[in-house]
Structure 1
Amino acid sequence: MNEIKLTTKASYLWQWGKLLSLTGAAQVLVQGSSLVGGILVIRLLPASEYALYTLANTLLGSMVVLADSGIGAGVMAQGGKVWQNPSQLGAVVATGLKLRLRLAVGSLVLALPLLAYLLLHHGASALMTTLIVLALIPAFFAALSDTLWEVAPKLHQRVKPLQKNQLAVSLGRLVLTALTLFTCPWTFVALLANGFPRLWGNKQLKALSGELLDLKQTPDPAVQKELLGMVKRILPYTLYYCVSGQITIWLLSFLGSTASIARIGALDRLSVVVTVFSTLFTTLISPRFARLSGDRSQLFRHFLRIQLGLLVVAFCTIAGVRMAATPILWVLGPEYTGLEGELTLNMTGNCLNWIAGSTYALYSSRGWAMKPLVSIPLSLLPIVAGTWFLEVGTLLGVITLNICIACVQVCVSITYSCFKIYQTPRQTDPAAF
């Protein structure tokens, strides 16, 4: 009997090791090409232009988060219940696409005027501001549907086609960036080079999803009610996250200099290392966590294992960046030398945010949503305290503030997850991870 258990455990570990190694290798290629493309942007754009590029990308991220408002997590949660039924899964995805498009309009109305103001505030001409705003729109609409078209392949663990799609898009961005910025080193050109490959990739994702779900399905009112309920619970937190998630950029945009914005944008390029782990997590871990049956002991056991893995990866990443800080800054360019301490601290904040975001992905994949009246005050506390005691108009000040905020987010997310797992009843026949 013991031999059978050992054999089963060894087979399980071998399966996961093979899956992580293959997926990780593909992600290294994907994010490696993204990193090279990002360094090209840093090197080829003047510091003033790169500051504008950083502002535009920050607004793009906030627009995408606002247009989602929990829809992606809700589709994953609802899809996890019917993932083996193509018709029902198709209805879930169709409903999510419809709701996300509605929210996209409001996101554009709120974000684009703010972007125009910040660009003008930091020295962009009226013509350049207009071109940047227009160039951001294709990238925004490309980001609206990619995560929803990935739901079915992730639930069915069709990892290899997803990796091929991501690699093709990343290489496309790299090629377009190299071809265009050498001759046209402007922010709006870099944004277009970033958005068009993703539009092509989304068409391929839709074709892949068509093999796993019924594309002809129309939105389901029952699913829409569930998704809207989740959006209502998450929307206040989403609005808060649009500010707190990029608090360093926002504070420097209003209180700091254009040079500081360029520097924090360049340092954040190294967060591509964390993006590798984040993509692995959302591709392999959170979909499987969503598929687990509602057994308390099983959920808690897997949750603890995942948290331990997150901590180990984060510690190793921070240590590696600390040891290689000087050569990393040399690669970024002479305008960013002497920022070894800021680079290490910024990576610490990125890793803590990754842990908080991964924990959020776990509990939201189960359809759990924290009440904004609880989460937002807890999250506002470090922001208010930090802006009072720290010099948030400086690069070091905003990086330190980001670390404080991330620490609170990690504690809140883990505590809430444990609370929801504790409320889950025990079952005698839990599903396998």
Structure 2
Amino acid sequence: MIKFKQHPKYNTIVNWGKLISITGSAQIIVQGVGFACGILIIRLLPVQEYAFYTLANTMLGTMTVLADSGISTGVMAQGGKVWANKEKLGAVLATGIDLRKKFGLVSLIVSIPILVYLLIHNGASVLTSLLITTALIPAFYAALSDSVLEIVPKLHQTILPLQKNQIGVGVGRLLLTGLTIFIFPWAFIAILAAGIPRILGNVHLRKLGHNFADKNQKPDQEVRTEILGLVKKIMPTSIYYCVSGQITIWLISVFGNATSLAQLGALGRFSMILTVLSAIIATLIIPRFAKLASDKFLLLKRFVQIMVILVVLLSVVVLIVYLFPTPILWLLGDAYKGLPFELLLSIIGGCIVLLGGIVFSLYSSRGWAMSPLLLISVNLLAIIILASLLDLNSLRGALYFNIALGLVALLQTVLFCTYNILLTKNEQYEETQ
């Protein structure tokens, strides 16, 4: 034991063990609460109301991506350079939030009419559509700042307070949902119950961030220019991902019916299992990867390590779903039983998309951006080919489509990240990360 403690890597292993256990246990609680809330909503909402809920949540994700368009990535990249300077980090944070608000207004104006149209197309009344879109605004308002506010504690690896805040938001959502949805089983109530706790959580996030970033700083023009430079590179890709990232939902909402849409949304709830892993990577790995010295051998080593660990962990998740589909589907209720193969396809697709998203976050945190023309051209070609080969009117066809398109995107991101790592010019560094 003494010899083991004297090993040069002992302290590193112990520190990583503590960080992963804290982050992992907290995320298990957060996602467990979120999963319980999701199951509660699935079981209590009528199938058609859950279809509306699925559409609204999908549009919320789209609106958030549009409002970001690479801003949070720019804040992470700029913040990683000045994270130890309270004044400069405060200026980066203020600039990022200011940009998110302006982009958010445009996103809202573009997205709301589309959501209203899709809701009415799938059988919602005009009143129901208006109630759902109104209920979505608090959650969207919170989404404008929370991902940016989290960057400061992530850069300083202040993990415990960050996790406590996330747990508080999750518990608040569960309590509010439980108190309302039993009496009012409507989609807009479930959406509103999710948005209010996020706003309160952002108040705590702001206080936490101000421990390391000067709250009195104003948006900085130089920082704005740097962030917008990255946004210009990432925005076309972000807009594309708004469509392709949830393309199965859009396809079913246009060509399918409310039942298939509800089934797809219900199966997708199990992808929340994957968000535990995603949150750990986003909290512990991405910020550290962003701060690594510019040394190609170190970067390549870390990238390969991350990918190997992720592939192994995600393979275990797929195996568990393959072996035990019946008890998993039982959680969704009778309306969604009889979909074991579709569940497996949904999880496989979710794993592939998650893996591609993490690779995208890794290289974006270094300030690298893929050519939008290349990315969109390749993916549009893949969409055309896959659409001609698969039945997109069916749930299975849409899930196969999602898997194939995810593989194309994953291959692109891995090749691009590896290419940029190999082009990195070595600098003197100390491996302290």
TM-score (norm 2): 0.98
1:410 pairs with 2:404: no
Residue 62 of structure 1: how far off its partner (Å): 0.1
Deviates more, 1:14-23 or 1:214-223: 14-23
Partner of 1:104: 104
Partner of 1:151: 151
Partner of 2:296: 296
What residue identity is the alignment partner of 2:107? S
Segments of 5+ residues of structure 2 without an aligned counterpart are none
Contact 1:166-1:201 within 8 A present in 2 as well: yes
Partner of 2:328: 328
Partner of 2:75: 75
Secondary structure of residue in 1 paired with 2:223: helix
Partner of 1:57: 57
Contact 1:76-1:365 within 8 A present in 2 as well: yes
Aligned positions, number = 431
Distance 2:428 2:116 in 1: 57
* CA offset digits 1:29-88 (Å, max 9, x no partner): 110000000000000100000000000000000000000000001100000000000000
Distance 1:198 1:429 in 2: 40
Distance 1:70 1:176 in 2: 32
With over 3 angstroms needed to count, the CA separation of the structure-2 counterparts of 1:78 and 1:116, relative to structure 1, is same
What residue identity is the alignment partner of 2:341? G
Distance 2:429 2:263 in 1: 53
Contact 1:66-1:107 within 8 A present in 2 as well: yes
What residue identity is the alignment partner of 1:148? V
Partner of 1:185: 185
What residue identity is the alignment partner of 2:39? I
Distance 2:120 2:416 in 1: 41
Distance 1:116 1:329 in 2: 31
1:267 pairs with 2:273: no
Partner of 1:194: 194
What residue identity is the alignment partner of 2:279? T
Residue 393 of structure 1: how far off its partner (Å): 1.0
Partner of 1:365: 365
Secondary structure of residue in 1 paired with 2:7: helix
Distance 1:150 1:209 in 2: 7
Secondary structure of residue in 2 paired with 1:370: coil
Distance 2:14 2:181 in 1: 45
Partner of 2:174: 174
What residue identity is the alignment partner of 2:176? L
What residue identity is the alignment partner of 1:312? V
Equivalence map 1:26-425=2 (5 Å): 26-425=26-425
Contact 2:31-2:276 within 8 A present in 1 as well: yes
What residue identity is the alignment partner of 1:98? D
* CA offset digits 1:75-108 (Å, max 9, x no partner): 0000000000000000001111111111111101
Distance 1:187 1:104 in 2: 23
Contact 1:352-1:403 within 8 A present in 2 as well: yes
Contact 1:298-1:430 within 8 A present in 2 as well: no
Segments of 5+ residues of structure 1 without an aligned counterpart are none
With over 3 angstroms needed to count, the CA separation of the structure-2 counterparts of 1:431 and 1:225, relative to structure 1, is farther
Contact 2:70-2:231 within 8 A present in 1 as well: yes
Q: Supply the RMSD in Å over aligned alpha carbons.
A: 1.2
What residue identity is the alignment partner of 1:266? A
What residue identity is the alignment partner of 2:169? V
Contact 2:34-2:174 within 8 A present in 1 as well: yes
Distance 1:102 1:153 in 2: 24
Secondary structure of residue in 2 paired with 1:184: coil
Deviates more, 1:251-260 or 1:370-379: 370-379
What residue identity is the alignment partner of 1:212? F
* CA offset digits 1:269-328 (Å, max 9, x no partner): 001101111111100000000111111111111111001111011101111111221111
Contact 2:290-2:365 within 8 A present in 1 as well: yes
Distance 2:409 2:310 in 1: 15
Distance 1:6 1:365 in 2: 34
Contact 2:4-2:10 within 8 A present in 1 as well: no
Distance 1:300 1:4 in 2: 28
Equivalence map 1:9-20=2 (5 Å): 9-20=9-20
TM-score (norm 1): 0.98
What residue identity is the alignment partner of 1:354? L
* CA offset digits 1:169-204 (Å, max 9, x no partner): 000000011100000000110010000000000000
Residue 14 of structure 1: how far off its partner (Å): 2.2
Residue 383 of structure 1: how far off its partner (Å): 1.4
Distance 1:338 1:205 in 2: 42
Secondary structure of residue in 2 paired with 1:114: helix
Distance 1:49 1:388 in 2: 32
Residue 5 of structure 1: how far off its partner (Å): 10
Contact 1:296-1:427 within 8 A present in 2 as well: no
Residue 6 of structure 1: how far off its partner (Å): 6.8
Distance 2:351 2:381 in 1: 21
Secondary structure of residue in 2 paired with 1:341: helix
Partner of 1:21: 21
Q: Which runs of 4+ in 1 moved over 6 A?
A: 3-6
What residue identity is the alignment partner of 2:42? I
What residue identity is the alignment partner of 2:350? N
* CA offset digits 1:244-284 (Å, max 9, x no partner): 00010000011001100000000000011011111111000
Distance 1:429 1:306 in 2: 21
Distance 2:212 2:79 in 1: 12
Residue 374 of structure 1: how far off its partner (Å): 1.2
Secondary structure of residue in 1 paired with 2:251: helix
With over 3 angstroms needed to count, the CA separation of the structure-2 counterparts of 1:389 and 1:321, relative to structure 1, is same
Secondary structure of residue in 1 paired with 2:219: coil
Residue 4 of structure 1: how far off its partner (Å): 9.3
Secondary structure of residue in 1 paired with 2:9: helix
